[in-house]
Each structure stands twice: as structure tokens, then as C-alpha cells.
Amino acid sequence: MVNDKAILVGVDGSQASYKATWWAANYAKHAGLMLQIVCAYSLPSYAAVSFDSTYTSMGDDNAAHIDAQEILSKAKAIADEQGVEAQTLIVTGDPSSVFVELSRNYNLIVIGNRGKGGLAERLLGTTSSSLPAYAYCPIIVVPYTDDDGKTMHLNNTIKRVAVGIDASAWGLKALQIAADLSADRGAELDVIDAVAGLQGVSDEDGVYDSYMEDLETQIAPVREAHPDLKITKTIVPESAVSALTKASYDHDIVVVGSRGKGGFTGLLVGSTSQGLIQHAAGPVYVVPRKYVEAEKSRSDGAIEGIEGVEQISVKTADSSAAEAIESSIDPEHEA
């Protein structure tokens, strides 16, 4: 069965993954969920950023396993600081394929971005292993630094939500999820339809009015479901990547469907170095095509006993370790 009581978050010892854990813990706390924290590694071809290359290159699985437990103990301490229950798992094998399989068993996975190698690179770095494009559940990608490598502050509240919409099933599902999230958090929702072909088109010829009417039709079910939700709708005459990246700077989270009609295929399946998930200034909530297509039968698609996944108990690091990590991952952190 799909685990609807927990959010899965991936860690690899990088500051980026600890920041994702911190954000996921805040999200889980508000939603009344627990965390399942997973550390994934593969020997000898892959070593997480904190692993010592001298022993990982030798294939010393025992040493790497111990290091993974230490990483998990620190991540668990971060969850404890937020008052969130957390379980810990270790994944051996190729993280990109295992995480896709794990996505069948969860309603949400959170991973960090802009770490120096490690898990995020494996899960986001190539078309064949791009987790947001191929997952069976939504993925939230949490940024660690901006494009200049400067550590960013992230809010632990969600007051403004942006969603990129098109007429595809996954674009409309993204709208529904964004509306539900906004209503649950008491947030404002900004619905953005990016139409690059409108560049240079005047407002006077009625084209914008036509697009706005179509957009209102798409929004109508959301207004009915959430009559008190404050919704702003915007037609933006530029690419989806550009419009949503800009939106990420003044919204607490951006929701988007993958493989949508309006150009999201290139956004999330093409070169990630050029896409929203690599340049956003805040968390990006990705609603994958596979999730939408398999949603009605997801309970039948859950997998038991995924090879390479081991649930373990680790000793939680002391609060000073969590405090040190939180101070390093957020420039505005207050002790």
C-alpha cells in the first residue's frame, strides 16, 4: 500500500540535502505527517559527498554503511528539532532507479538541489534518471544556493503559491494540488499561463482576453472547490522557464506539471542546467505525468520489499549537531 502517513526525503551528507530535510520537516509538521529519511549510495561507482573516496573506491561497503548511518543521525536530529517523528532508511544500489521505484510507495518525495555532486546530481542530472520526470508521485526540489553559489534563506511558512498551468491533464492536476495546498495553508494562489508566442502582441487586439477567458474556464473548478481562496491569474508573454523562475523569487513555492502541453517537457526532461529546477529561488513542486496517469491505480502499484532498501534504527545526533547544520544552511538562522 502507498504510505500516506509519511514524506520521503533523500540525504547524502551534503548541506543541500540537510536543507531539504529541514524544509521537509516543516512541511510534514504542518501536514501532520512523519518523515522517512533515506540515505542512498552505490559502490564503487558512486560516493556521496561526505564519503571518503579512499574507501569507497575500494568498495568497502561496511565503512560506507557506517558513514550513511552518521548522515542519517544528523538528518534525524534536524527532524527532531522540528518536533517531527522520523524513521531512517539506507538504500544500496543505483539511487536514480531505486528512487523511481520508491516513488510508487509515497505521496511525496523531497530532495535538495545544488549540492556538489552526490544524490541530487544522480537524481536530477540526466534525462534517463531525472526523478521529477519519471517518478510515480510528486517531487519537491528544494534549492540550497542561488545561481551564484550564495546560500539562500527559505521560509518555513507558505503564504504565496504560484502554479504554472496548461490544458494538459498534469497541468490541471498541478492547479488542483496548488489550490489545495493554498487553501490548507491560508495562502494566496497565483495562476500563471506562460505563452511565449504572445511576445510583442498588443492588449488591444483581444488576444489576451481570449487567453484569459480560457484560463478562467480552467480555474472554475478550483473556485468552486475553494470559494474563499484568493486567486490571481496572469498571462505571461514569455517562456514557462523564465516566467516560473521569476515567480520563484516572490512566492514560497512553485507548482508545475511535467510533460505539459505548454513546453514543460523541455523544462523538466531536457537540460536541467537550463530548467526551472536548477534556477528557482525556492522549492519547486513537480507533478509528474506518470503520477497523473497512474493515480487511480496507485494503491495497486505499490511495491513491497524493494531490493536494496533497508530500514534501520540510528542514534539521533545531539541538538548541537542540528544547530550547527541549521546555522550553516540558512544565512538568517536564529539560534
Q: How far apart are CA 332 and CA 314, in angstroms?
A: 30
Digit-coded pLDDT (tens) for 38-59: 987 765 444 444 444 444 444 5
Cell numbers that stand for 175 in this block: 492547479
On average, the pLDDT of the chain sits at 81
DSSP string, 89-133: EEEES-HHHHHHHHGGGBS-EEEEES-SSSHHHHHHSSGGG-HHH
Q: What is the pTM of this model?
A: 0.86
pLDDT under 50: residue ranges of the chain: 44-58, 126-129, 260-274
Digit-coded pLDDT (tens) for 202-252: 665 677 788 889 999 999 999 999 999 999 999 988 888 889 999 999 999
Digit-coded pLDDT (tens) for 164-186: 988 888 889 999 999 999 999 99
